[in-house]
Structure 1
Amino acid sequence: MTSTSSPVTTIVFDLGGVLIDWNPRYLYQKLIPDAAALDHFLSTITTPDWNEEQDAGRSLAEGTALLVAQHPEHRELIEHFYGRWPEMLGGPIPEAVEVLTELRASGRYRLYALTNWSAETFPVALAQFEFLHWFEGIVVSGTEKSRKPFPDFYQTLFTRYGIEPGQALFIDDNARNIHAARAAGMQTVHFQSGAQLRQELRERGLLAAPSV
């Protein structure tokens, strides 16, 4: 945890895993009933590293074609990754969205999002989740052709919206991205749950304690 000596004027949210429950298992558990086979497919075929290349700007068509060429025996399952991508959306993470709602209602902070997300699939989420329209700005990796944890991606956020890093608090569920945000000068909260986020923000004086 970084120093909180600077006053926080801006709060920046990650999206997937913080406000939105996204998980390929929601789709693939329908397609691969055997648990061991499911784990093997997600860890060795449609890996997080492969998906992150699409998040960083590679087209879904190109990413799919490359993987099919490597694993032609899994063509149909691979093509379902983006062909049935909306089925991976489990919905909002309620307690975290409640925290966002309270921060917005307070009027005390500028609210932004910094997300690793394909430019081709992000519009699906934007249409589905009203709270995504509450942010003053969202920096999407697929649009920028960069992603967390690369320093230039954070700098895009700072430059575009005139954000002073030391006065910004970044919330992400990925420790790698948290470390990069700290290196960029931001204050951070490593997200574990909505309840944990609420508690940390209260301890920092950023969110009001419940009335008694």
Structure 2
Amino acid sequence: MPNIKTIIFDLGGVLIDWNPEYVFLKEFRGNREKMDWFLNEICAWEWNMNQDAGYPLAQATEDRVAMFPEYEKLIRMYYGRWEEMLGYTHEDTLEILESVVQNPNYNVFALTNWSGETFPKALQKFPWLQWFEGILVSGNEGIRKPHKEIYELMLQRYSINPNEAVFIDDSLKNVQGGETVGIKGIHYIDASSLKKELIALGVVL
């Protein structure tokens, strides 16, 4: 069993709820099929992930409008009303975070795929983000999970020993990315299973 000294959390999907549905379901008058088509074909997840790697939001918007001018109004909503897509805190996971933050035996960080332009809005909305000793935001670094380089950067910047670290993410690909540099990974499903897996690793909660 590893001697865990560092705990690294993903944010979106683990501690923070974020969903474009909060904006677009209203715009499509509750027609989920049309909304899903728009979010899969026009403002697709892969397109949004490009901004998580540092591509400018304004340029990304103009690129998309040029490709799909008939959807200009909706495309501009994506980042124009992005803050409305920020939902709630996952309170049950926050309890786990608070427990390890208060324990002097652990160093606690966050590693998130997030646009550097929108992340300050999250900092304003969720004061508990200040609990982390450090947060590495992909959009500020020009590289995102699951690329190996971002995990290596995390280890270097915060002087983390990968053999003494655990990384929690709701994306299995991102967990596996961390494992390529020797970080023990936990694929987040819910707070209850996370708690059990941390305890199994000897983490005191």
The correspondence of residues 1-212 of structure 1 with structure 2, limited to 5 A, is 5-33=1-29, 34-208=31-205
Residue 129 of structure 2 aligns to a residue whose secondary structure is helix
Deviations 1:146-165 (CA, angstroms, capped at 9, x unpaired): 10011111111111110011
1:205, distance to aligned residue in structure 2 (A): 2.2
One-letter identity of the residue aligned with 1:190: H
Distance in 2 (CA, whole Å) between partners of 1:95 and 1:27 is: 25
Query: Where in structure 1 are there 5+ consecutive unaligned residues?
Result: none
Counterparts of 1:188 and 1:176, CA distance in 2: 10
Q: 2-side partners of 1:31 and 1:60: how far apart?
A: 21
For 1:185 and 1:201, the matched residues in 2 are separated by 17
Residues in 1 aligned to 2:182 and 2:24: alpha-carbon distance in whole angstroms: 39
Aligned Cα RMSD in Å? 0.9
Q: TM-score, normalised by structure 2?
A: 0.97
Provide the rounded CA distance (Å) in 1 between the counterparts of 2:104 and 2:40: 42
Q: Deviations over 1:71-112 (max 9, x none)?
A: 111101010000000110111111111100111122221000
> What one-letter code is carried by the residue in structure 2 that aligns with 1:197?
L
Give the number of aligned pairs.
204
- SS of match in other structure, 2:102: helix
Q: Name the SS for the 1:21 alignment partner.
A: strand
Work out whether residues 68 and 75 of structure 1, in 8 Å CA contact, stay in contact via their aligned partners in 2.
yes
Distance in 2 of aligned mates of 1:27 and 1:196: 31
| Percentage of pairs with the same residue | 44
**8 Å contact kept, 1:198–1:207:** no
**Contact 2:54 2:138 (8 Å CA) reproduced:** yes
Q: Pick which of 114-123 and 21-30 moved more.
A: 21-30
In structure 2, what residue type is equivalent to 1:23?
N
* Alignment TM-score, normalising by the size of structure 1: 0.94
